[in-house]
Amino acid sequence: MEKKESRKAQDIKNPTFETKNLKASSNSNNKRDKSLPWWVELLFVQIGLPDKWLIKVLKTKKKSKELIKNEKRIVVIFLFVLGGLIYFYPVVKYSKSKLDCETIAKSYILENKNLKKINAQQLRMLSINFCNGGDEIKQIKNLKD
């Protein structure tokens, strides 16, 4: 009988199974006690967006992290190209507006000033001058009158 009791006493002193369960439950409690990120708190708790959206957002976030981790070179090249396009867009827009202005000014000069004998270079010069706020067209009008 003493042997049986001693076994029970040893199991109580060294309860490996119970300690593992206690450690696992304490870890799961720590995971549950973590606070939500601010954007989840704001969008899904305070505002009340649907939970389906949160699941989709979290899946997309996980997939994007994996994509960035696995395809770093492609992501860097894409960001470089996108940055280049953003950087040069104002220059392209300005050039396009200048060319449109020149085209409109050429047609205006030809229709309203009755300059039939003017060559293409002079017409381009006058249209650029007109688009930049010059008054050379007024001087041409004064010379004709």
Q: What are phi and psi of 106, to 5 degrees?
A: -60, -45
Residue 127 in any domain: the answer is yes
Predicted pLDDT of residue 19: 58
Q: Is the pLDDT of residue 138 over 60?
A: yes
Least confident range of 65-69, 84-88, 129-133, 135-139:
135-139
Residue 43 in any domain: the answer is no
Residue ranges making up the domain that contains 111: 89-145
Domain count for the chain: 1
DSSP string covering 40-65: HIIIIIII---HHHHHHHHHHHHHHH
Q: What is the pLDDT of residues 13-45, one digit of tens each?
A: 555 655 555 555 555 555 566 787 888 889 988
What residue type is assigned to position 26 of the chain?
S
Q: Is the pLDDT of residue 73 over 90?
A: yes
Least confident range of 4-18, 26-40, 118-132:
4-18
CB 51 within 8 A of CB 44: yes
Residue 122 in any domain: the answer is yes
Residue 28 in any domain: the answer is no
The more confident residue out of 123 and 113 is: 123
Residue 128 in any domain: the answer is yes
Residue 102 in any domain: the answer is yes
Predicted pLDDT of residue 118: 76
Q: Is the pLDDT of residue 106 over 80?
A: yes
What residue type is assigned to position 95 of the chain?
S
The more confident residue out of 117 and 85 is: 85
Residue 55 in any domain: the answer is no
Residue 29 in any domain: the answer is no
